[in-house]
Chain A
Amino acid sequence: MKISILPKKACPKWALWISVCIFLMIANTSGAAALLQAGAPAPAFSLNDMEGKEVSLSQYSQNKAVVLLFWATWSAKSPNALKRFEDFHRKYGQKGIVIIGINADNQTLSAEDATKIKGLLASHGITFPVLLDKGLKTFHEYEVIALPSTVVIMEGKIAYELAGFPLTGTENLFDYLLSLAGETPRGNKVTGGYKPKYDAIADTNLAKGFVKKGKYAMAYPLFMKAIAKDPSYMAPYIDLARLYALEGKTKEVEDTLRSALKMAPENIVVLAELGYLLTNTNRAGESVELLAGYAKDGAYTPALYYYAYALAAAGRLNDALAAFDNALQLNPFDPVTYRLRGEVYENNRMMKEASSEYRRSLELLLKMSK
Chain B
Amino acid sequence: MMHGLLSRKLLILVFFMHLCLLWMFVSGPGPQAFAEQPEMEKAEFIKKAAVYSEDSNTDNLIRNVREALVTSPDRAEDHDQLGYLLIKKGLYDEALDSFRTALKINPNLRTAKTGIGVALLGKGDAAAAETALKSALILNPYPAMTYYALGLTYLKMDNNEQAAQYFKEGIRTFKDGKK
Contact = CB atoms under 8 A, between A and B. Distances in A.
Interface stretch (B65-73, B108-116, B162-170): B162-170
Given A22-B172, A339-B171, A358 B148 contact: no
Given A366-B145, A366-B148, A355 B160 contact: yes
Interface stretch (A176-184, A265-273, A304-312, A346-354): A346-354
B171 A362 contact: yes
B176 to A, nearest CB: 8
The 8 lowest CB-CB distance pairs between A and B, nearest first, are: A358-B167, A355-B164, A351-B160, A355-B163, A355-B160, A362-B170, A368-B12, A352-B160
A365 B152 CA distance: 16
Interface size, A (range): 20 to 34
Nearest to B174: A365
Given A354-B160, A358-B151, A365 B171 contact: yes
A354 to B, nearest CB: 5
A342 B175 contact: no
A362 B144 CA distance: 8
A366 B179 contact: yes
Contacts of A335: 171
A363 to B, nearest CB: 8
B174 A366 contact: yes
A369 interface: yes
Contacts of B175: 25-26, 29-30, 365
Contacts of A361: 167, 171
B10 to A, nearest CB: 11
A342 B148 CA distance: 15
B179 A362 contact: no
A89 interface: no
A31 to B, nearest CB: 12
A140 interface: no
Interface in A73-109: none
B151 A342 contact: no
Contact of A342 (B168, B172, B174): B168
A361 to B, nearest CB: 6
9 contacts: A29-B175, A351-B164, A355-B154, A355-B164, A359-B152, A359-B167, A361-B167, A365-B144, A365-B171
